[in-house]
Amino acid sequence: MKRAIALLPFYLFTLLPLNAQTEALRKLNIAELAVYNLYVDSVDENKLVEDAIRGMLEKLDPHSSYSTPKEVKSMNEPLAGNFEGIGVQYNMIDDTLMVIQPIAGGPSERVGIMAGDRIVTVNDTAIAGVKMSRDEIMRRLRGAKGTKVRLGVARNGIKGNLEFTVVRDKIPVKSVDATYMIRPGIGYIRIGSFGATTHDEFMESLNRLNAEGMTHLILDLQENGGGYLQAAVRIADEFLGRDDLIVYTDGRRSPRTDYKATGNGAFMNGKVVVLVDGYTASAAEIVTGAIQDHDRGMVVGRRTFGKGLVQRPVNLPDGSMIRLTVSHYYTPSGRCIQKPYKKGDSKDYAMDMLNRLKSGELTNADSVHFADSLKYLTLKKQRTVYGGGGIMPDFFVPLDTTRYTKFHRELSAKGLIINANLRYIDKQRKTLVKTYPTFESFNATFEIPKSVTDGIIKEAEKQGIKPKDDNELATTLTYLRLQMKALIARDLWDMSHYFQVINESSDIVKKGIEVLNYEL
């Protein structure tokens, strides 16, 4: 009897009217029912369905994907421009959460939590020194807007723990990483991703730089992995003339859609340089391609990632999501810059950057080869540009492979640099604030003490990490000192000041300044 009941769904399903689609769906449903009802061991039906979905998508392009409800929430937060929590920038040091900076105007700052504080308890539960995972700590700290959380805080110079009750609130997530005047008359804006608030942040940056005397702009899109297409369209719109095509999308079931400039842009006249690298992708490539195709500005750096596929989110009842590729996007000249891929071969696709390095492309522009069929012309000056695999910059900047030594990479991978930075800023914050009341004074005279870098090298040696020779050590220390200075500037002020320090050593940034000065 039990067996007959178990087989009943199969019988009912055979009554469905047949066509190609329902026959395929019936086959899939019968397979799932068979496994769930007849398999020798018990199975997790939800996981069974998730695995089936992933199996289907894995045979498509590299950007169609499935995300669990938890992954969807994590993925959407930076693009939505906010999350709900206590409002601190933090890092972990010795299994303890240390506050780098409270978010200005956020709930933690409002109750008096300060940079350098250690959060040791949450609602009377210890989170410090108990090997609690970072995800679990974040789960306890985050929560719905308006809810309260009690925090036990250890502060240098204060005996015992302080207690604060924080009312959680919406916390902004910034997508513009840096804004400052990099040279007289030249503004610099770095966009880290394209989210819901990117355009508003960008306009705020433009207005600030205009007030400081900006006439020309460096737009830094290095390592920008993309985001919302509409956000990219709004940014590109600020540079282009009325009815200039920004991008268009076209797919098998998605008719062509054109996105055009309104002609009311806030930066229509000044010179523009866009900085890119191999991790500049998707929405960032849309902005880059529009500016290049309309000869609105010069592109500096290395060939971009090459993601020319548009994904449509398909929300599922349990909060999970399928991101399904539904169309290609094309730059104004008609280029599809999606790099080649084999359906179902995500491994080879993921190895593309390593393959570029091995081929010599990252160090030599002549190693990049495009077929004649991929040639296009820009729309005003009729310059040759290429499709079929990222956007090739107008000015190529080779990767300096000697600067980032193997020794430095190992120090970073082991967390030795960030941990040394956290310990130094923790002990010296008050002295640093008193000695350097402004970033300008810090930037002009601060040097990381030799004792700090010596400590990093000594700790590395304990872990069996050593430079191969004195030359590698000297090269590593040169960049390490600069990196440490930039990290300290970030912790004392903000991320914009980090880039203000580090950019002075960037070959791509320096080339961008050179191109702008030449173009002037």
Tokens 């506050």 -> residue: 99
Q: Bridge partners of 250?
A: 328
Beta strand pairing call for 216-220 and 186-191: parallel
Which among 169, 220, 293, 491 is annotated as catalytic?
293
- Dihedral pair phi/psi, residue 193, rounded to 5°: -165, 170
Q: Bridge partners of 191?
A: 176
Q: Is 295 a catalytic residue?
A: no
Tokens 């972990």 -> residue: 92
Long-range Cβ contact pairs of 89-96 (< 8 A, separation 24 or more): 90/119, 91/418, 91/422, 92/134, 93/419, 93/422, 93/423, 93/426, 94/129, 95/128, 95/129, 95/130, 95/131, 95/132, 96/120, 96/128, 96/129
The two structure tokens encoding residue 352: 């593309």
Q: Is 133 a catalytic residue?
A: no
Interatomic CA distance for residues 429 and 365, integer angstroms = 45
**What SS3 string covers 74-128?**
HHHHHHHCEEEECCEEEEEECCEEEEEEECCCCHHHHHCCCCCCEEEEECCEECC
Interatomic CA distance for residues 494 and 491, integer angstroms = 6
Q: Is 282 a catalytic residue?
A: yes
What does the DSSP 8-state code read for residue 401?
Answer: T
Which among 282, 327, 333, 506 is annotated as catalytic?
282
Which among 271, 307, 485, 511 is annotated as catalytic?
307
Q: Evaluate whether 306 touches 339 at the Cβ level (below 8 Å).
A: yes
What are the Cα distances from residue 386, in Å, to 236, 334, 368, 372, 378? 20, 10, 11, 9, 10
Q: First CA to last CA across the chain, in angstroms? A: 86
Report, as residue numbers or ranges, the catalytic residues.
Answer: 282, 293, 307
